[in-house]
Amino acid sequence: MSKEITVPAVGESITEVTVGQWFKNDGDQVQMDEILCELESDKATFELPAEATGILKIKAQAGETLEIGAVICTIDEEVVSTSKENDSPTPKSKEEPKSTGNAPSTTGEVKEMIVPTVGESITEVTLANWIKADGEYVKLDEIIAEVDSDKATFELPAEASGILRHIAQEGDVLEIGGLICKIEVTEGKPAPSNEASSSTSEATQAPGNSNYASGHASPAASKILAEKGISPESVSGTGKDGRITKEDAQGAQKSAPAPTKAESKPVAESSAPILGSRNERRERMSSLRKTVAKRLVSVKNETAMLTTFNEVNMKPIMDMRSKFKEQFKEKHGVGLGFMSFFTKAVCVALQEWPAVNAKIDGNEMVFNDYCDISIAVSAPKGLVVPVIRNAEAMSFDQIEKEIVRLATKARDNKLSIEEMTGGTFTITNGGVFGSMMSTPIINAPQSAILGMHNIVQRPMAVNGEVKILPMMYVALSYDHRIIDGRESVSFLVRVKELLEDPTRLLFGV
């Protein structure tokens, strides 16, 4: 008898799914509840388990889009039942469990681990990296995996001691509360056996016989290697069990083909792209990128966003930095940058124009008497916005130290949820990438964002004379529902005044 496997209902609003990846081939024998393939919807990725034991017949290939209820594959149960009748169990199979003398005694308890709640606004995470292999013994509270949310990366500790059984695979998108793995609880740690030592030596001698982690690239490493056009097989991993880490991928170089006698072209030319080629590649969007995209579109659709511009003469700040930067760094151990001047100026202006520091909550306007300044930072996984708490009460050196600390954690993907939530106003600096002018998008639920740009030497009229000055355009994007034109323009003019005469920041005038 042939069992038809159909696309299950995976959500009320989901009408179709895409076949992602087949874990079994056509004609393979599969067991009941064994994972056959992945199904991708517009919200998450799901695994399709086998509903019977038998021979798999694939009806839909990877990449095909199917409606809910459509047949995706069949399982021929008769073939298996016939083979079972011909096969008779041997005493050896019954004695196999006894032959593993080094195995720990199992308690019979199986601990199911689910995706924990990692933040109020986070509904799903991506399994980034398995630190412990399937079937490996783990201890209570030992880190077994890393999961990525749209805001940060978290470590997943084991909730029991025992044998780890993977349920989700690296790259899977899981909802909060979704099953990620199981742990078969044991009463003791398995003793090292001859079999284990021999498998270790085999892994050392023959890479083809190593465990699944050997030569396997993490999601971040895979992306970097794909951009470089380097195959993971040509990179040696320095991570656990030979896993290819992000650092391995960053340091990997594409090997040039060995020159032959007939070749007369330099090696450098062989790596140059072929003119007129039409190659293209596809990459799945990360959960961070998808969430940022949704929020940016939401802000554009749900706010009355406008942008006002002004320009700032940066010469006074540049002169002050040149005069005191060496003494500042010697005393405080950190450099004096432009960001601390902008942060201090913004804090003064926000307290004078509180609507710019406010937000809309339903039918109410929430005004903040403090200034939590969000600083946009370009991290490896995308744009993140860590927060400087109570910046209005901080000194220049405290602001610089906090910026360095948060930026370092952002680039190492170590920022916590608390460090990226609750800001009241955002500063973004596109000038570090060469931007001359832009209209930054508001960081919801905030009501305004200040955009900094590059500094350009331009001729300016000063007291009837033309002078060459270092000028920067600044842009304030704001929500017109809560901030009027008078407030937005006055706020930006006040920031300009403070920056062009930074001694005002010392006296609060």
Residues with a catalytic annotation lie at 480, 484
What is 85-122 written as a DSSP string?
Answer: HH----HHHHHHHHH-TTSPPEEEEEEEEEPPP--TT-
Evaluate whether 24 touches 47 at the Cβ level (below 8 Å).
no
C-alpha closest to that of 472 among 509, 426, 440, 430: 430
- Secondary structure of residue 296 in the 3-state scheme: helix
Q: Is the Cα dihedral 318, 323, 326, 327 positive or negative?
A: negative
Q: Which residue has the tokens 């742990």?
A: 183
C-alpha closest to that of 3 among 107, 80, 91: 80
Evaluate whether 431 touches 398 at the Cβ level (below 8 Å).
no
Which segments within 396-493 are labelled E, that is strand? Answer: 425-429, 448-452, 455-462, 465-479
What is the rounded end-to-end Cα distance, in angstroms, of the chain?
A: 86
Q: Which residue has the tokens 């680039």?
A: 411
Beta-carbon contacts of 415 under 8 Å, excluding residues fewer than 6 positions away, are: 151, 152, 384, 386, 406, 409
**Helix, strand, coil tally for the chain in percent (to 5):** 30, 30, 40
Q: What are the Cα distances from residue 179, in Å, to 45, 165, 167, 365, 447?
A: 13, 11, 7, 40, 38
CA separation for the pair 387, 461 (Å, rounded): 38
User: Identity (one letter) of the amino acid at 299?
Assistant: V
Give the CA angle between residues 142, 143, 144 to the nearest 5°. 110
CA separation for the pair 429, 377 (Å, rounded): 9
Evaluate whether 441 touches 453 at the Cβ level (below 8 Å).
no
Cβ neighbour number for residue 351 with a 10 Å cutoff: 16
